[in-house]
Chain A
Amino acid sequence: MNEDAISARGLTRKFGAKTAVDHIDLDIPAGRIYGFLGPNGSGKSTTLRMLCGLLTPSDGHAEVFGLSVVKDAEAIRRRLGYMPQRFSLWDDLTTEENLQFIGRLYGLGDNLKSRIEAQLKTYWLEKLRAQRAGSMSGGQRQRLALAAATLHAPELLLLDEPTSAVDPQSRRDFWERLFELAEAGATILVSTHYMDEAERCHGLAILAEGRIVAEGSPRDLMEGVSADVLEVEGAESTGAVNALRALPWVHGVTQLGVRLRVLADRGTPDAVGKLHAELRRLGVEARINPTHASLEDVFVVATRPANGNGNGNSKADAA
């Protein structure tokens, strides 16, 4: 028996000639919130779909609760709640009817009524019980979708970009619910492309082009980032930005208002002095201070092109 809720080895999925997920390994402990962070097309959704039995892996294998996702898909489904990226409940049914239908599919039978009442309360849907899903706001729909996905009290929850169509306040509320669920013992696997959400996960895998390029807790990832972060103030002209990007030891430059975040090769000797020199050449005098890496910095470093020393946004380097 495996203590992990999910474990995968060499999990791969190809669509024709394209490899969407490329030999990934996963070990996700039970009772945690685990995040997949990555841009669109990095293989987050495909991985989630393989884990809930929607897609068959092309290669490798994965186990959920020690059960094979291929052979024991039926048994896994009863213990799993899945919330697809797109709202997938029925627009022409009311909150209550949607929950009733889902509950009947899971065979909740006698407990269904009380379960629905409890869910309506937890997810603030009591006033919306007779409203059709089609006429709800993004945040309301998302609460309904989560209520439906957790109706049968699953041990594992797979959430595919659950907050992509939702306002910030709803996102915060949503994450509070997730922590409550994790507290109650559920394992949650959530994909996102929001840094702030990724930062709230217990564990995190950063995906790029179907591979896991970094993995660990957000704190470990930020501390272990293989780059020095320098904050440059007063050099926000396009010319200065491009000049810094062109430096061979600079991974990337991100502009935040009047500040620039420069990612330099870890341990570059006198990086601050070299930046000053480069900017003075352009007649720019700036303030430069080393700072802590953010998760976004981790992301930029992890997803940079493999041959390294170029700038972060040049497509040619990837080839």
Chain B
Amino acid sequence: MNTGRAAGRFVGAWRRLLAVAAKEVRQLARDRPTFGMIVGVPLMQITLFGYAINFDVRHLATVVLDQANTSMSREVIADLEATQVLRVVWHSNSSAEVDALMREGRISVAVIIPPDFERRLQSESRPVAQILVDGSQPTIAGVVGGLAAMPILTRHAMGAYSGGKRMAPPRVEVRTLYNPEKRTAVQIVPALIGVILTMTMVVFTASAIVRERERGNLELLIATPLGRLELMVGKLLPYVVIGLIQVTIILIAGRLLFGVPVVGRLIDLYGAALAFIAATLGLGLFVSTLAQTQFQAFQFAFLTMLPSILLSGFMFPFEGMPKAAQWIAQILPLTHFNVIIRGVMLRGAALPEVWPQLAKLAVFLTFMLTVAVLRFKKRLD
């Protein structure tokens, strides 16, 4: 008898929860701008980040001042261009003009080959050519610096030139694992899953709950048999599904547009995404207890988003940050998710192999939920 009643209560609670979820989905489907954002935000982000952000610098505008003008000097220039790092847009014959072009910002790199180029090749002590780099742009100097070490400009590699275009291998071989072509998209897309989920989940859930309060619906809801937990879970449930849809959109777009592979198993990937979605929903719930209006909810959401993007290792390597920033990053779920998702997607890690990060997400979720539920109760009074 008693267990029957308990089961009945559970069924009742479950039905009310589903009623809330169904209502939320229906409203969401009618809210065109929001619905558009669910699909639009991931697509826009992946296009922007995938194409525009490129840590892998190529095709730098270059001027060539070839004072030697021999067949060998022309061959060297052709080889430099073949690396695709440089793109020769100008041939000059005065160093004054080279200086002017550099100052005006029309070129980033200048290659200067002195008249005695071939004689210098025989000599140990003098550099064979000069590459001028615009140091005012952050990443360019480093990239071009790598060029100077290319064998074509060293005396020892001379032999390669008599044979044609093939370069001699450098003496130290550097191989990049998991992303052999060092394409930025491969690094960005997995982390983008976390960034996009952070953006949409926190905003959606926070505003979904605040909206009921703002429009006065909450007052009616509290007077019905609907429980607080039923209301909260019912409202969040649709967003879990939406989060998973977004993950799928990013994966498909990443594959089609940038050829980003999924090395690990899909089940691990979606498992990781679910854990992260839960953590961000917890954060959204917490934000909803702080905000009185949807506008405030948006501002709070942005407040959590910026540090997430900057400190989580999404754009800047975690190791390079000062200690304080690293501690803050430890609080952010995105930091841990980035480790997990890169592991699963690119290195083929299984979930048990990234358990420390999963545990941190769980701690974060527990904390947020506890605070949110405690605060939510208070607020209704």
Contacts and interface: CB of A to CB of B under 8 A. Distances in A.
Interface of A: 52-56, 74, 77-78, 80, 82, 84, 86-93, 97, 101-102, 104-107, 109
Contact of B19 (A54, A74, A92, A105): A105
B15 A86 contact: no
B3 interface: no
B31 interface: yes
Interface centre among A52, A55, A105 (most CB of B within 10 A): A105
Interface string B364-380: 00000000000000001
A101 B216 contact: no
Contacts of A52: 223
A88 B219 contact: yes
Interface of B: 12, 15-16, 19, 22-23, 26-27, 30-31, 215-217, 219-226, 380-381
A101 B19 contact: yes
Contact of B223 (A80, A87, A91, A93): A80
23 contacts: A52-B223, A54-B380, A55-B381, A74-B225, A77-B224, A82-B223, A84-B216, A84-B219, A84-B223, A86-B216, A92-B27, A93-B23, A93-B26, A101-B19, A101-B23, A104-B15, A105-B16, A105-B19, A105-B221, A106-B224, A107-B12, A107-B15, A107-B16
A106 B225 contact: yes
A11 to B, nearest CB: 16
A115 B153 CA distance: 88
B116 to A, nearest CB: 80
Given A93-B26, A104-B19, A88 B224 contact: no
Contacts of A88: 215-217, 219-220
Given A55-B381, A74-B225, A104 B16 contact: yes
Given A87-B216, A91-B215, A105 B223 contact: no
Contacts, number: 64
A78 B12 CA distance: 13
Contacts of B15: 104, 107, 109
Given A107-B16, A107-B225, 12 more contacts: A54-B380, A55-B381, A84-B220, A84-B223, A86-B216, A90-B215, A90-B217, A93-B26, A104-B16, A105-B16, A105-B221, A106-B224
Contacts of A106: 224-225
A116 to B, nearest CB: 14
A25 B375 CA distance: 32
Nearest to B8: A107
Nearest to B27: A92
Contacts of B380: 54
B222 A78 contact: no
B381 A56 contact: yes
Nearest to A77: B225
Contact of B27 (A89, A90, A107): A90
Contacts of A78: 225
Interface of A is mostly: loop
Nearest to B19: A104
Contacts of B215: 88, 90-91
A89 B223 contact: no
Nearest to A52: B223
Contacts of A86: 216, 219
Nearest to B30: A92
Contacts of A109: 15
Contacts of B27: 90, 92-93
B10 to A, nearest CB: 13
A80 B216 CA distance: 19
Q: Which 5 A-B residue pairings sit nearest by Cβ, starting from the closest?
A: A104-B19, A88-B220, A82-B223, A86-B216, A105-B224
B59 to A, nearest CB: 50
B16 A77 contact: no
A163 B31 CA distance: 30
B12 A54 contact: no
B216 A92 contact: no
Contacts of B217: 88-90
Contacts of A89: 217, 220
A101 B16 CA distance: 9
A304 to B, nearest CB: 33
Nearest to A51: B223
Contacts of B220: 82, 84, 88-89
A135 to B, nearest CB: 12
Contacts of B26: 93, 97
A90 B24 CA distance: 11
Interface centre among B23, B31, B224, B381 (most CB of A within 10 A): B224
Nearest to A49: B219
A105 B225 contact: yes
A88 B220 CA distance: 6
Given A86-B216, A91-B215, A92-B27, A54 B16 contact: no
A102 B381 CA distance: 22
Contacts of B221: 105
Contacts of A82: 220, 223
Contacts of B22: 101
Contacts of B223: 52-54, 77, 80, 82, 84
A105 B219 contact: no
Interface centre among B15, B19, B30, B223 (most CB of A within 10 A): B223
Contact of B226 (A56, A97, A105): A105
Contacts of B226: 105
Contacts of B23: 90, 93, 97, 101
A56 B380 CA distance: 10
